[in-house]
Structure 1
Amino acid sequence: MRLLATLLLLTLGLSAQAAIKTQEIPYQATDGTKMIGYFAYDDAIKGARPGIIVVHEWWGLNDYAKRRARDLAALGYSAMAIDMYGEGKHTEHPNEATAFMQEALKNADAAKARFQAGLDLLKQQPQTDPNKIAAIGYCFGGKVVLDMARQGLPLLGVASFHGVLATATPAQAGAVKAKILVEHGGGDTLVPADSVAAFKKEMDQAGADYKFVVQPGAKHSFTNPDADKHKGHGLDVGYDKTADQKSWADLQAFLKQVFG
């Protein structure tokens, strides 16, 4: 009987895993840039469900961003990892990543348009409830989702993981409609203490509903298991399993709160 039960559990586990469906969907921003969205959902769930945008790190739309979309799909959400650089490009070299990021951020309106195009794509999917949308982002992606909240986009919530907190256009009073979760590494030298203080002051003055969580000792990119391999480029980054797990648990609680 014990063997039968074990086999049954394994079968159920495999079935659940196989129920996560993914597809790459081409789309286009208003400036004509060709983009690629990575869509994930659980086809065992019937009907529309809340949707979540995933914005990649400065490396671009790589396997890590796609994995997070699958993770969210496994939690019962409709998830779209969007492309902020165009044509799904990504890199593992910091110089290229910096160039990609600077190009994407040099025009705030263009960055917003690229995010909006991905948001529209997610809403168009039959698995998505267009009235229940949130966004999460990592590193560069954290800045993107925070900037979208600053600009008042129709998102119920945004969550930033080891994200860049600085902005050239601070939120105005009453502009931030989304609830905000920030997961920050206590040992993050790439996002200095003055940026943290400035962000909190900005959010307080804007009257934003936000929660700022510090993961003790965690370095930049603490959620990404591949972070350690980038230390060879002289980057002060590192994976932290405890911080990763705690911040993911925080996200799940946050999403339940914002979606009701």
Structure 2
Amino acid sequence: MCTLDGCGSHEHLGPPPKATDEQRRLFLKGAAALPLAVVLADPMLAHAAGHGLDKVTITTPEGDEMVAEIAMPHTLPAPTVILIHEWWGLNDHIRAVAAEYAKQGYIALAVDLYGEPPATTPDGARALMSSMDPVVATRKLQSSVEFLRGHKDSTGKVGSVGWCFGGGWSLNTALATDIDAAVIYYGNVNKTPEQVATLSAPIMGHFGTLDKNINKEMVDGFERSLRIAGKTDYEFFWYDADHAFANPTGGRYDSEDAMLAWNRTMAFFDEHLS
């Protein structure tokens, strides 16, 4: 579920984190590092950060194909994480985050559930999202898990993380597979006790108190479903922030909460995927 202006608006209500000209020059030459938020807020830097990913083709048993992109860490073997894009599709923003996950020691697989060029407008994103077949998407994610478990450089541990549209699909991945951990950033968690009965992975959720769609009523209902189904291995965090607070390309970006959510996510994956 996404709000009218989406998972991170392309119009700013306030200034995003910004690199100086010298910092940009050094980063583009590969001679300097920058905080992830600064990279993501600058399209040229995000493109540079994510350009080194390799394309891989994931094929389901039913013959559906998906071209995903993979980032490799220096130290192998390594645990793995599936990154699921916002409603925009697989863009440089997600590629750059995948590259950062690789720097943190994970094999990072950025999936593309649309198989189309990413959208740049809410109408375009809405069209992509509505045209996607959820049954096929589930099969692609199941096959992505199998791909990573069997990867020659994998430890066999697999996690998933997604934002907005991708947050809901990170949960769906945990319901449809036996992954080892799942993280949800302000994604649709409207599930019944029967739907969560298959959950075996620990989950972490990040939600904003100002989010009118992925709101407390929805998350409380999800927690009730988990309890009824006997699921206890979950933790939800609430931030004084709005939807898409972790996306520095949007006017709702909250730097402190984004960093706190990032650190919690890294600690969660370190605990469950190491």
- Please report the TM-score for the alignment, with normalisation by the length of structure 2: 0.76
Change (3 A) 1:170 1:223: farther
Whichever residue aligns with residue 71 of structure 1, its letter is E
What CA distance in whole angstroms lies between the structure 2 residues aligned with 1:100 and 1:30?
24
**Deviation at 1:32?**
4.4
Pair 1:81–1:99, CA change in 2 (3 A): same
Cα deviation 1:98-133 (Å, max 9, x = unaligned): 2222232x54x3221021232233334332222x11
Please give the alpha-carbon distance, in whole angstroms, between the structure 2 residues aligned to 1:197 and 1:84.
28
Q: What amino acid is the match of 2:162?
A: G
Q: Are residues 14 and 120 of structure 1, via their aligned partners in 2, closer, same or farther at CA, if it must alter by over 3 Å?
A: farther
Given candidates 167, 170, 176, the residue that maps to 2:199 is: 176
**1:61 and 1:52 mapped to 2: Cα distance?**
15
Q: Does 1:159 align with 2:183?
A: yes
Show the counterpart of 1:143: 168
Counterpart in 2 of 1:95? 123
Figure out how many residues of one structure are paired with residues of the other and give that number: 231
> 1:33·1:86 contact (CA, 8 Å) conserved in 2?
no
Structure 1 window deviating more from structure 2 (70-79 vs 29-38): it is: 29-38
Q: Which runs of 5+ in 2 are unaligned?
A: 1-26, 35-49
What are the superposed Cα offsets for residues 17-38 of structure 1, whole Å, 9 maximum, x if unpaired?
A: 9xx9621223334554442211
1:241 is matched with 255
2:141 maps to 115
Aligned to 1:191: 214
Q: Distance in 2 between matches of 1:169 and 1:111?
A: 22
Amino acid at match of 2:130: Q
For the 8 Å contact 2:85–2:162, the answer to whether it is kept is yes
Q: 1:180 to 1:15 in 2, by over 3 A?
A: same
User: 2:238 & 2:98 partners in 1: Cα distance?
Assistant: 24
% identical aligned pairs: 28
Answering whether residue 78 of structure 2 is matched by residue 52 of structure 1, we say no
TM (norm. structure 1) is 0.79
Change (3 A) 1:58 1:30: farther
What is the CA-CA distance between 1:61 and the residue it aligns to? 0.6
Q: Is structure 2 residue 66 aligned with structure 1 residue 35?
A: yes
**In structure 2, what is the equivalent of residue 253 of structure 1?**
267
Structure showing greater relative contact order (alpha-carbon pairs closer than 8 Å, 6 or more residues apart): 2
Give the root-mean-square deviation of aligned CA atoms: 2.7
TM-aligned CA distance change 1:41 to 1:15, over 3 Å: farther
Greater strand fraction, Structure 1 or Structure 2: 1
